[in-house]
């Protein structure tokens, strides 16, 4: 038990150390940070983010976040840069270099090469007085007193502060650009979040079969239609307009009430004025309607014509739920 308590205490101490370092960043956000945001916002080129070691991994994440929120960005490994990858940088790009110490051999070689061009250089470093800090046009001070590592060696707290500083840049740029949920959907078409913002009911319903019977259809044929179309429901239509719906539940209730169903028609057991949704509505709105009414299917209309069914299982399959 004492061993478990020791593990828990170490984990809590790690989180506490990193929490304090991130909290301290608030006091380090100043006019220079705002100037960097404006610089990137007004730049005609991209943001090139570079670093080595663990900082390179964080640089990759910052690039991904910037790209997904409307700021074109690219990663350049600092070690590869001095062996040919400097060609990645174009004349209008802004370069951001991540380094805790700001004094690593790769950085000392790279920075003079960067300074030889016209690109503005932004440092994200824990050491303003480092080689990187003194040579950069702007410094975002991601200061850390110590790493969470008990030996104060493994990059832990320092990479967390770099990551948070990158997020702060991305969110400020997002707001300046007026980046909306629709913009987000364009950059995330394959993810569940994006689908909630762009996937329409018709996109899903078009992949389903279209169960329908007329009011005069006999019950046996209605049951066959429900069974064959695999959606647990059939619309009852007249001249392609919805007049009712028959569900699996309606069939069960009918069988409990009637011994002889041979003379029954669809109109005898259908529910009138069924819940329906327009084909152009968002799929997430269909989910909300299903949840509100405690149902698993919705009939779909377009131009006042019945065109199909959307099922809860469709939404689960698409990751909407």
The domain that holds 170 is classified in CATH as: 3.40.50.10490
For 40-81, the pLDDT digits (tens) are 999 999 999 999 999 999 999 999 999 988 899 999 999 998
Same structural domain, 34 and 75:
yes
Q: What percent of the chain has pLDDT over 90?
A: 74
Place of tokens 């090139």: 48
Distance CA 34, CA 253 (A): 67
From the list 104, 117, 110, 108, the residue with the least C-alpha distance to 49 is 110
Give the number of domains in the chain. 2
> Are residues 29 and 162 located together in one domain of the fold?
yes
Q: What is the C-alpha separation between 315 and 122, in angstroms, rounded?
A: 44
Average pLDDT, the chain: 91
Mean pLDDT of 281-306: 94
Dihedral sign (CA 135, 36, 167, 67): negative
Place of tokens 């840069």: 81
- The answer to whether residue 149 is domain-embedded is yes
Q: Is the same domain home to 43 and 151?
A: yes
Considering the entire predicted model, what is its pTM? 0.65
Q: What is the 3-state secondary structure (H, E, C) of the chain?
A: CHHHHHHHHHHHHHHHHHHHHHHHHHHHCCHHHHHHHHHHHHCCCCEEEEECCHHHHHHHHHHHHHHHCCCCEEEEEHHHHCCCHHHHCCCCCEEEEECCCCCCHHHHHHHHHHHCCCCCEEEEECCCCCHHHHHCCEEEECCCCCCCCCCCCCCCHHHHHHHHHHHHHHHHHHHHCCCCHHHHHHHCCCCHHHHHHHCEHHHHHCCCCCCEECCCCEHHHHHHHHHHHCCCEEEEEECCEEEEEEEHHHHHHHHHHCCCCCCCEHHHHCEECCCEEECCCEHHHHHHHHHHHCCCEEEEEECCEEEEEEEHHHHHHCCCC
Residues 301 and 157 in one domain: no
* Residue 138 sits in the same domain as residue 6: yes
What's the number of CA atoms in the CB half-sphere (13 Å) around residue 195?
18
* pLDDT confidence of residue 191: 61
247 in the same domain as 101: no
Average pLDDT of span 18-23: 93
255 with 131, same domain: the answer is no
Q: Answer whether residue 190 is part of any domain.
A: no
Which residue in this structure is represented by tokens 């350049």?
76
Domain of residue 308 covers: 198-317
| 11-20, 23-32, 176-185, 311-320: least confident range | 176-185
More confident residue, 215 or 178: 215
Specify if 123 maps to a domain: yes
Cα 159 to Cα 154: distance, rounded to the nearest angstrom? 10
pLDDT for res 184: 66
Note whether residue 136 is domain-resident: yes
Taking only the tens place, the pLDDT of each residue in 129-141 is 999 999 999 999 9
Confirm if 225 and 246 have CB atoms less than 8 A apart.
no
Identify whether residues 98 and 219 lie together within a single domain: no
Cα distance between residue 290 and residue 273, in whole Å = 15
Same domain, 227 and 165: no
């Amino acid at each position: 038990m004492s061993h478990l308590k020791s593990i828990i205490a170490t984990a809590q101490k790690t989180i506490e150390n990193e929490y304090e370092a991130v909290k301290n960043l608030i006091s380090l956000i100043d006019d220079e940070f705002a100037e960097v945001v404006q610089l990137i916002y007004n730049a005609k080129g991209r943001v090139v983010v570079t670093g080595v070691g663990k900082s390179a991994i964080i640089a990759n994440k910052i690039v991904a976040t910037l790209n997904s929120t409307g700021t074109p960005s690219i990663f350049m490994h600092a070690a590869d840069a001095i062996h040919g990858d400097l060609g990645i940088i174009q004349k209008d790009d802004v370069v951001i270099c991540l380094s805790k110490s700001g004094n690593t051999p790769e950085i000392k070689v790279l920075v003079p090469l960067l300074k030889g061009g016209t690109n503005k250089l932004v440092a994200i470093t824990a050491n303003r007085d480092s080689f990187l800090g003194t040579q950069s046009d702007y410094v975002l001070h991601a200061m850390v007193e110590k790493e969470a590592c008990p030996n104060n060696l493994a990059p832990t707290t320092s990479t967390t502060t770099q990551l948070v500083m990158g997020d702060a840049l991305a969110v400020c740029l997002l707001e300046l650009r007026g980046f909306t949920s629709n913009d987000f959907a364009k950059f995330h078409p394959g993810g569940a979040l994006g689908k909630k913002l762009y996937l329409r009911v018709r996109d899903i319903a078009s992949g389903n079969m279209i169960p329908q019977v007329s009011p005069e259809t006999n019950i046996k044929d209605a049951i066959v239609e429900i069974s064959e179309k695999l959606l647990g429901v059939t619309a009852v239509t007249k001249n392609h307009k919805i007049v009712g719906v028959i569900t699996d539940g309606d069939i069960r209730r009918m069988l409990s009430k009637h011994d002889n169903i041979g003379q029954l028609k669809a109109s005898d057991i259908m529910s009138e004025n069924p819940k329906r949704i327009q084909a152009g509505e968002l799929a997430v709105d269909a989910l909300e309607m299903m949840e509100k009414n405690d149902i698993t299917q919705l009939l779909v209309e377009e131009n006042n014509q019945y065109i199909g069914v959307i099922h809860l299982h469709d939404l689960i399959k698409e990751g909407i739920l």
